[in-house]
Amino acid sequence: MSSTRPSPNTATISLPASGCNVNQAELPDNALILPPTHQLQALLTIIRDEKTQRGDFVFTSDRIIRLLVEEGLNHLPVVPKTVRTPVGMDFDGVSFQGRICGVSIMRAGEAMEAGLRDCCRSVRIGKILIQRDEETALPKLFYAKLPEDIAERYVLLLDPMLATGGSCIKAIEVLMSHGVREDRILFLNLIASPEGINNVCNLFPKLRMITAWVDEGLDGHRYIVPGLGDFGDRYFL
């Protein structure tokens, strides 16, 4: 994979002394972080706790995922629409422009599918499996099952953890190779590292990324710290 293209929209992310979050102004222009409300911080505290049992982990993760999906839908284009209310009055509102689909990066991303379906009934969902190539140490595509008309849709790309960004970048390349426009991709993510955000947003400046929290960074093993461990294992096992 070639090195990332420089982008004037990418900012250097600096963490406050507490090491727990960043301000929106410190993010690249095409990245958004959910407001750090007390509710969100409490939910994240639960799923980070190593003592949290699977049932509570799944329930709490699903609540955060719902917040991410709702925010993602806020960024879809709309067109004016007037409807007649039951009292015989017109209401000038809007309706979504264009169709959407979800694409989960297996397997952890599959945990976010239910949250998307809760908000969008009968939404079509594709899957991409990317693993590390042992010979090249680069992310390699092993499987992709996408809607046939995905090039005509807005795509919500789902993956809860963003470390280096390698898998996400590969998934975006797969989507674009199937005709999806970069500006029609919204990447939804629970916890991200500053390195991963810059890597993805620098390479794809027209994509929009929405994350719930930005952690301190990566350790020597490229694990997100403080992180929460292996999201897929804690959610599914």
pLDDT at residue 121, as a whole number: 86
Residue 81 tokens, joined: 């629409």
CATH number of this structure's domain 27-236, picked from the four choices 2.102.10.10, 3.40.190.10, 3.40.50.970, 3.40.50.2020: 3.40.50.2020
Q: Please identify every residue annotated as catalytic.
A: 132, 136, 230, 233
Residue 189 tokens, joined: 């993510």
Q: Please give the residue that has the higher pLDDT: either 4 or 131.
A: 131
pLDDT at residue 134, as a whole number: 66
* pLDDT band with cut points at 50, 70 and 90 for residue 18: very low
Q: What helix, strand, coil percent values describe the chain, rounded to 5?
A: 35, 30, 40
pLDDT at residue 25, as a whole number: 67
Nearest to 193 by CA among 231, 167, 219, 172: 219
Residues 6 or more apart from 193 whose CB is under 8 A from it?
A: 162, 163, 164, 214, 215, 216, 217, 218, 224
Q: What is the mean pLDDT of the chain?
A: 89
At 33 the three-state DSSP class reads strand
Domains in the chain: boundaries = 27-236
pLDDT mean over 171-193: 97
Tell if the pTM clears 0.85, that is, is over it.
yes
pLDDT in tens, 51-75: 999 999 999 999 999 999 999 999 9
pLDDT at 161 over 70: yes
pLDDT at residue 23, as a whole number: 72
